[in-house]
A = this chain, B = another copy of it.
Amino acid sequence: MLLTINLRDKRPIYKQIVGGIKDMVLSGELKPDEQIPSVRQLATDMNINPNTIAKAYAELERSDILYSAAGRGFFVNPDLAKAYRAKEEEVKKTLILCVESAKKCGIKKERIIEIIEEIYDRDGSQAETEP
């Protein structure tokens, strides 16, 4: 499982892990009911304390991205409807804060959409390649 944490990122490590795995699940990169690396395994792989991984996994379970059972491990929740809706809400909330402030400062709507197009249409370093 490819997960990188960025030390220059202001978000705490566990939030970066939450974001990374959430995106992998919602993008289908991780399959329904697939088992993900154990807390200890990922902790070893990423050289991070197990408590930090556990904190991230717990949040992913609360967000209906994963489900788990002690003694068995963590698995991808096959029913992602709720998580998907929450993701869209999260995106919307971020955009509201960002766009309202931008608007107030005189950044035109057209400029914002231009930026969106530019971001969306470029390849994206980790994005899926299309055939």
Which A residues lie at the B interface, using CB under 8 A? Answer: 7-8, 10, 12-13, 19, 22-23, 26-28, 62, 67, 69-72, 84, 87-88, 91-92, 94-96, 98-107, 109, 111-113, 115-117, 119-121, 124, 126-128
Contact = CB atoms under 8 A, between A and B. Distances in A.
**Mostly helix, strand, loop or mixed at chain A's interface?**
helix
12 contacts: A12-B70, A26-B104, A26-B105, A91-B98, A94-B94, A95-B115, A99-B116, A99-B119, A103-B127, A104-B124, A104-B126, A109-B120
Copies of this chain per assembly? 4
A119 B105 contact: no
Nearest to A98: B94
B100 A116 contact: no
Q: Which 4 A-B pairs have the closest CB atoms?
A: A26-B105, A109-B120, A99-B119, A91-B102
